[in-house]
Structure 1
């Protein structure tokens, strides 16, 4: 871990927001939230009596994805930034369990109940955004605002594909359990581990990868090598996918303010027609919708936080022009539709 931290200090100098955030880490408090199978780990900042904001990272990431923004969010917020189960320093689910997007509703509820929150805001990136949307739709009375980073809607599948998806998931489950029971994972030198992550996630550079690997890697004291901390079962398909009709039934229940921050070079999971339909559903459901484009890739909030922070902070403060004027918002939506993102 000493090698990892040294690499973080050396490499983040190229990213001013990351550098400032690391200098301010003394104001970050590590948290552990007890859950029936272990604990959910995370980082907390801001006043304990502040407005609650729960932050959820994307697939195979961890709460380090928000290192560059957490220190710069409005000081009136109590920010709880968690490692989702099976990621970072959080406990893995019990043997024989599987992971799904819908479980995020349970994870969020457990955090909410632990802190005794009545009303709180959610911020999610990618997979964490999908989980946050599902929670805000399931418990609309709980959620004040929802900030979504680079996701219009999560991937859905036509119902005629569901049986084959379930079949593949069941077969993959058995193979993954065999790997887990073997009790060993590939190990690498730290530089090699980081190189593999940067190659796998095209918009990450070394500094951003280091921010994720602080919690996303562990060193074997016997070999001196590193391995990833995420649960291998996260690579499996869900047993039961969702189709667009089901997704729409949830999205129509949203009642919170909603900000969509779409990266110009971000994830391309849905086509323009599906995105247009999703935005129409949001417009008919939420009291306030902002959609904007930001230069950068899928992890723009980590690699170029200056491109998104002014919009996020304005939105969280409740400023009417947080995501631009009505004209600017409409232009951003049109740009998104033209891009097909």
Structure 2
């Protein structure tokens, strides 16, 4: 980890959230919010590019080093909005810039639409509004409840696995290099056995397995559009030409939802903010400069 990044923790009334910061506390604040099953380490490469902003990269609940939710609870999308609002109000942060990747971008836009007085601007990286469903309410609820039931039934103690094995497995499903995958995996796991032989360090997951449960409730496309019409702050949407938005054709369908947003198309995959750092920070910095003048 670069020397100028330091750990940070926030003890909220219901949970402790942790993360990383460049500690430039005299600069304007950006809260960086990672994607589903990632963690604050996804912003480490980008943080090294930033000198004009105080960035705090958070681990969402159940991710990275942040606390898990208590037994009997789960990870609903809108609970993260509650976490974020408690954090911002506890810290007395106002006019915050939210920079989110994937799920973090989705939640940033939802929060800005819900609490416009708290947000100065949103930068959404390969995300463009909420995930929606075409299923009925009953179908969605049934799927979510059965998902929880099945996970409780098969719950077992995690066995140690070689760190290298997890890195190799993740690399098969991402465009990231082994070095960048290792950044994410190390923050998502806890070492339990350190061997000198070929096995290397063995780890168990810190990440809460309940994060994989299906959601009980999802918005319809109409509800998501209505919610996004409440978003009034300046917004920049970065679309990776080989990312999820491009592959799913979603951005063309939703472009009209964000008529005043600045849309930037960049080369790269879904995690382009981890390896095309100079390319992605240049338009972000220009956007933030323009809204400040």
TM-score, scaled to structure 2: 0.91
Please say if 1:50 is aligned against 2:23.
Answer: no
The reply on whether 1:107 has 2:83 as its aligned counterpart is: yes
| Matched residue, 1:295 | 267
Corresponding residue of 2:180: 208
Structure 1: 5+ residue runs without aligned partners?
1-21, 321-341
The aligned counterpart of 1:219 is 191
2:110–2:130 CA contact under 8 A, matched in 1:
no
CA distance in 2, matches of 1:269, 1:91: 33
Q: Aligned with 1:93: secondary structure? A: coil
Picking from 165, 175, 179, the partner of 1:192 is 165
Matches of 1:66 and 1:96, distance apart in 2:
31
Matched, 1:243 2:223: no
Return closer, same or farther for 1:260/1:268 CA change in 2, 3 Å cut-off: closer
Distance 1:209 1:271 in 2: 24
The one of 195, 211, 232 equivalent to 2:209 is 232
For the residue of structure 2 that corresponds to 1:123, the secondary structure is strand
Alignment of 1:63 with 2:35, yes or no, is: no
Q: Judging changes above 3 Å, is the alpha-carbon distance between structure 1 residues 227 and 120 closer, same or farther for their aligned structure 2 residues?
A: same
Structure 1: how far apart are the matches of 2:73 and 2:150? 14
**What is the SS of the residue equivalent to 1:208?**
helix
Match of 1:95 in 2: 71
- Who is 2:140 aligned against? 165
| Counterpart for residue 279 of structure 1 | 255
* 1:156 alignment counterpart: 132
Pick closer, same or farther for the CA change 1:147–1:208 going to 2, 3 Å. same
Q: Is 1:138 the counterpart of 2:114 in the alignment?
A: yes
Higher helix share: 1
* Aligned-residue offset at 1:252: 0.5
Give the drift of 1:198: 1.1
1:145-185 CA distance string (max 9 Å, x none): 10000112332112x433212111101102222344x3x12
Question: What is the number of residues matched between the two proteins?
Answer: 287
**Shift of residue 47 of structure 1?**
2.5
Name the counterpart of 2:198: none
| Long gaps (5+) in structure 2 | 196-200
**CA distance in 1: counterparts of 2:29 and 2:88, whole angstroms:** 9
* CA offset digits 1:99-128 (Å, max 9, x no partner): 122222112112212321121110000001
Give the secondary-structure state (helix, strand or coil) at the position aligned to 1:263. Answer: strand
Write the distance in 2 (CA, Å) between the matches of 1:161 and 1:271: 22
Distance 1:140 1:204 in 2: 34
Q: What's the TM-score, normalizing by structure 1?
A: 0.79
Partner of 1:73: 50
